[in-house]
C-alpha cells in the first residue's frame, strides 16, 4: 500500500516498494515474507528488507565471485512509479506532468478530470497533489489493469481516484450513481443521481480531444476558473483543438513544448597544439621505422639471409597520447591535465507532445457589492 501523505520510515510486510537496481532499472515489488527478488547480481530475500529503513542498501554476495551485488529499497513515489511502471501505452513523464500541474495550479482543492488513463503514470502524480481525480479509459484491458494497480496502491478505496470505463468522445464525462462502468459509483441501483464532478482541472491525453471538449460543459465547475491541458504529439491535432476550444468559450490559450535535457558533469583532457605536433612527429617516426623494417625484411628474403628473429620489433608504447588512440586513458588520470565540462546526454528525450493550455470561467456574473468592497480595500 502506498501512502502519499505519511511517508514511513521502516519497510513492512505487504508494502509496495521500488527496488533501485540502477538508474535505468527500477522495479516495483510487493514485500512478502519468504519472497525473493532476483537480479543478475544475486537474489535478495524480502525478509532481509523487512524492518530496514526505506532507502537502505541491501547487499548479497554474487553467485560467481566474491564480490557484492547491491540494491536500494525505496518508498514508492509517483516519480519512481513513472520510471518503473509496466507500459501499456505512451506515458506522461515527470518533466511534463510537474509542469502541467503547476500551470493548472493543481492542489488539494483541485478536482481533476483525466482522459485517458493509459498506463496510469499521470494519474499517480495527480492523486498525490489533487483533492479528487476522475480518470476515464475506453480500452477495457487497460481500464481493468489501471483499476487493479490503483487498488493495490490504495488510490481507490480510501484514496481519491475514480476510474471509469468509458469512451469520453462518445459518452462524455457525466457519472451517474449506479453506473457499472464507474468502479466507485457502480455499487447502487442503476440510473441514480448525477455525481457532482465540479472539475476545475482537466487533462486530455487523447488522439481526438476536440471530440471530448464539447462534453466538458456539463461537468466543470461553474463559479471558478477552470484550467485545461491537452497533450498532443502533432501540431495538426493542436490546430484542430484550438478551433474547438474557441467555439466552446475557452480562453487564455497558450501552447508550449517541454524540452528536457540532462547535463552530465565530465572531465575532458586538455589538448594543446604542441601535443598535436608531438603526436604527428611520433606517427611519422613510427611510419618511417615500419618502412625501413619492411625493406630490410624483403632484402633478407631475396638474399636468403637469415631473417631477424624479431620480425616485428615491439614498438615502444608512446608515452603520451593526448588523442586517446592506442593506449586508453582513464578519465581523470592524474598523469594528464583535465578540465571540467558539462556534457549533454547523447539521446535527448526532447519533444514528447505539445501542451495546449486553456482556461474558462462559466459564470462570469459577480456580486457587485462584494466586488466594490474588495476594490475599496485596495484603494489605500
Q: Which residues bind ligand SAM (CB under 6 A)?
A: 89-92, 115-116, 118-122, 136-139, 142, 167-169, 205-207
- Pick 15 or 96: Cβ nearer ligand SAM: 96
- Pick 118 or 159: Cβ nearer ligand SAM: 118
- Pick 119 or 182: Cβ nearer ligand SAM: 119
- Pick 3 or 89: Cβ nearer ligand SAM: 89
Distance CA 61, CA 245 (A): 60
Q: How far is the CB of 353 from ligand SAM (least distance, A)?
A: 9
Q: How far is the CB of 112 from ligand SAM (least distance, A)?
A: 12
Q: Is the peptide bond before 65 cis (omega within 30 degrees of 0)?
A: no
Task: Name the residue among 122, 272, 264 with its Cα closest to residue 202.
Answer: 122
Q: How far is the CB of 54 from ligand SAM (least distance, A)?
A: 25
Q: How far is the CB of 14 from ligand SAM (least distance, A)?
A: 25
Distance CA 165, CA 182 (A): 6
Q: How far is the CB of 164 from ligand SAM (least distance, A)?
A: 9
Contact between 198 and 111 (Cβ < 8 Å) = yes
- Pick 15 or 205: Cβ nearer ligand SAM: 205
- Pick 54 or 138: Cβ nearer ligand SAM: 138
- Which residues, in sequence order, are CB contacts of 296 under 8 Å at separation 6+? 308
Which bin fits 198, alpha (ψ -120 to 50), beta or left (φ > 0)? left
Q: How far is the CB of 40 from ligand SAM (least distance, A)?
A: 28
Contact between 135 and 117 (Cβ < 8 Å) = yes
- The angle that helices 121-129 and 140-152 make with each other, rounded to 10 degrees, is 40
Task: Name the residue among 274, 269, 281 with its Cα closest to residue 328.
Answer: 269
Grid cell listed for 12: 513492512
Q: How far is the CB of 375 from ligand SAM (least distance, A)?
A: 42
- Pick 44 or 138: Cβ nearer ligand SAM: 138
Q: How far is CA 261 from CA 78, 101, 125, 264, in A?
A: 20, 20, 21, 10
- Cα angle 125, 128, 131 (rounded to 5 degrees) comes to 115
Amino acid at each position: 500500500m502506498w501512502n502519499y501523505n505519511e511517508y514511513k520510515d521502516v519497510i513492512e510486510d505487504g508494502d509496495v516498494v521500488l527496488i533501485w537496481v540502477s538508474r535505468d532499472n527500477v522495479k516495483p515489488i510487493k514485500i512478502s515474507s519468504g519472497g525473493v527478488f532476483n537480479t543478475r547480481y544475486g537474489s535478495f530475500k524480502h525478509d532481509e528488507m523487512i524492518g530496514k529503513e526505506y532507502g537502505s542498501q541491501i547487499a548479497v554476495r554474487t553467485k560467481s565471485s566474491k564480490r557484492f551485488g547491491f540494491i536500494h529499497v525505496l518508498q514508492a513515489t509517483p516519480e519512481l512509479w513513472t520510471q518503473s511502471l509496466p507500459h501499456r501505452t505512451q506515458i506522461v513523464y515527470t518533466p511534463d506532468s510537474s509542469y502541467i500541474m503547476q500551470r493548472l495550479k493543481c492542489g488539494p482543492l483541485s478536482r481533476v478530470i483525466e482522459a485517458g488513463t493509459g498506463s496510469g503514470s499521470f494519474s499517480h502524480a495527480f492523486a498525490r497533489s489533487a483533492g479528487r481525480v476522475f480518470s476515464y479509459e475506453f480500452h477495457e484491458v487497460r481500464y481493468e489493469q489501471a483499476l487493479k494497480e490503483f487498488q493495490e496502491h490504495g488510490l481507490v478505496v480510501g484514496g481519491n481516484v475514480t476510474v471509469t470505463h468509458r469512451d469520453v468522445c462518445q459518452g462524455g464525462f457525466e457519472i451517474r450513481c449506479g453506473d457499472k462502468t464507474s468502479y466507485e459509483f457502480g455499487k447502487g441501483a442503476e440510473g441514480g443521481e448525477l455525481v457532482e464532478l465540479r472539475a476545475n482541472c482537466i487533462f486530455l491525453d487523447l488522439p481526438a480531444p476536440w471530440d471530448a471538449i464539447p462534453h466538458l460543459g456539463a461537468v466543470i465547475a461553474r463559479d471558478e476558473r477552470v484550467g485545461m491541458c491537452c497533450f498532443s504529439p502533432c501540431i495538426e491535432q493542436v490546430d484542430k483543438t484550438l478551433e474547438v476550444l474557441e467555439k466552446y468559450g475557452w480562453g487564455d490559450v497558450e501552447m508550449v513544448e517541454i524540452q528536457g535535457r540532462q547535463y552530465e558533469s565530465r572531465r575532458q583532457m586538455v589538448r594543446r597544439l604542441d601535443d598535436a605536433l608531438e603526436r604527428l612527429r611520433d606517427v611519422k617516426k613510427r611510419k618511417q621505422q615500419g618502412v625501413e623494417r619492411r625493406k630490410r625484411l624483403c632484402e633478407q628474403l631475396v638474399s636468403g639471409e637469415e631473417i631477424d628473429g624479431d620480425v616485428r620489433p615491439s614498438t615502444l608504447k608512446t608515452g603520451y597520447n593526448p588523442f586517446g588512440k592506442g593506449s586508453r586513458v582513464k578519465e581523470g588520470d592524474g598523469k594528464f591535465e583535465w578540465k571540467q565540462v558539462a556534457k549533454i546526454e547523447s539521446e535527448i528525450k526532447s519533444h514528447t507532445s505539445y501542451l495546449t493550455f486553456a482556461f474558462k470561467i462559466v459564470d462570469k456574473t459577480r456580486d457587485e457589492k462584494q466586488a466594490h468592497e474588495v476594490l475599496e480595500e485596495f484603494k489605500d
